[in-house]
Amino acid sequence: MNEKMGKLKKYFPFILLIILVAIFTIGNSRFLTFRNFMVIAQQMVVTLIAALGMLFVIVEGSIDLSVGGIVALSAIAVTMTVEQLGALAIIPAILVGVACGLINGCCFTFLKIPTFIVTMGTMTSFRGLVLILTGGSQIMITNRSFLNFYNGQYIAGVNNNVIMVVIITAIMWYVFKNFAFAREVRAVGGAEKVATLAGIKINKIKVGVFVLCGVMAGIAGCFQSARSYAATPTMGDGIEMDVIAAVVLGGTPMSGGIGSVLTTVLGTLIICILSNGMNIIGLSADIQKVVKGIILIFAVCMTVDRKRMGVIK
């Protein structure tokens, strides 16, 4: 029985993906077309970039609910500097992500506040800051060099942001696979006390994963602003749920210790296919939220390590 459950858990993302593709293809013939696949690829860009940062946080055993707020703040940083910096406006966006990540990481690590509470608080604060900075209105981006770089096409039929996200994913895969930092993140998430005895600087790792998550959210904010041609007060609203779901659907347990960049890509693909397919077959936004919530709960049930449920992070 345990062996069968183990195999089911291992192949659960692939099974779910096949089921969704089959359902949406039957529901609407427009789903299984090259044009729609390119739309899904576009939809994946922002979610995947943010999910790659969230992967490190969840593998460490924590959670970050403030990602959406960081995306919005980073987009505002882009709008404020894009006329002077053009495509390099991504740098202020990254710096905003670093600052927000440091706030989250330091509050969690040094004030010993659970990450759920910390990031729920900063999520609200960041959202309030977004409303103050935007005045409740959207800020348009008209700089053509910025828009062409992030939203144009250097290769016919393939948007630049899709190519960029492939490169970013490859870099993050290499980092997660080969860097000592990533190995230490897995060690801390797997057994924090053992990692401490092994000489790993726990506080550095805990702060580091939130800074990295902030950086990736900052990059995502830059791409989102280019795609929307603006920064808006509601930008990134609810994206944290899609990002967390993408990581978990890829097979990364909320209890931490293990994870994979490639399965996170798979999880993001599932989330975006789910959203795209439900739109195509005409489900309302309210029903879509219900479906996503049910699938997230089911995914957590499939991936959670119940032997470690006593460890709360």
* The token pair that represents 137 in the structure block: 């209105």
Q: Is the dihedral of CA 13, 164, 157, 235 positive or negative?
A: positive
Q: Is the pLDDT of residue 106 over 90?
A: yes
Q: Examine residue 276 and state whether it is found in any structural domain, yes or no.
A: yes
Given a cut of 70, whether residue 5 has pLDDT beyond it is no
DSSP secondary-structure letter at 42?
A: H
Instruction: Tell me the per-residue pLDDT of 29-44, one tens digit each, with 9 for 90 and over.
Output: 889 888 899 899 999 9
What average pLDDT does range 212-239 have in this prediction?
94
Q: What DSSP string describes 277-309?
A: HHHHTT--HHHHHHHHHHHHHHHHHHH--GGGT
- Give the tokens for residue 187: 């060690």
pLDDT greater than 90 at residue 251: no
The beta strand positions in 100-253, using DSSP E, are 139-140, 230-231
- Residue 312 inside a domain? The answer is no
pLDDT tens-digit readout, 43-60: 999 999 999 999 999 999
pLDDT of residue 301: 76
Let me know if residue 278 belongs to a domain: yes
3 state SS of 103: helix
Q: What is the reported pLDDT for 144?
A: 93
pLDDT of residue 15: 87
pLDDT for 311 equals 47
Helix pair angle (115-134, 90-110), 10° resolution: 140
Nearest 5°: CA angle at 218, between 146 and 65? Answer: 145
Give the pLDDT mean for 203-232.
95
46 assigned to some structural domain: yes
Report pLDDT for 74.
Answer: 97
In this prediction, residue 63 has a pLDDT band, given cuts at 50, 70 and 90, of very high
Question: How far apart are the C-alpha atoms of 122 and 128, rounded to whole Å?
Answer: 10
Averaged over 191-211, what is the pLDDT?
A: 92
pLDDT of residue 3: 62
Domain assignment present for residue 159? The answer is yes
Give domain status of residue 9, yes or no: no
* Residue range of the domain that includes 153: 14-305
CATH label of the domain that carries residue 267: 1.10.3470
Percent of the chain at pLDDT above 70? 94
Residue 229 included in any domain: yes
Model confidence at 227: pLDDT above 80: yes
Q: How far apart are CA 98 and CA 216, in angstroms?
A: 9
Q: What is the pLDDT of residue 312?
A: 44
Which range (11-15, 105-109, 198-202) has the least confidence?
Answer: 11-15
What's the structural domain count of the chain?
A: 1
Rounded average pLDDT over 115-125 = 94
pLDDT at 52: 97
How far is 313 from 306, CA to CA, in rounded Å? 14
At 293-311, the pLDDT tens digits run: 888 887 777 766 555 554 4
Residue 261 inside a domain? The answer is: yes
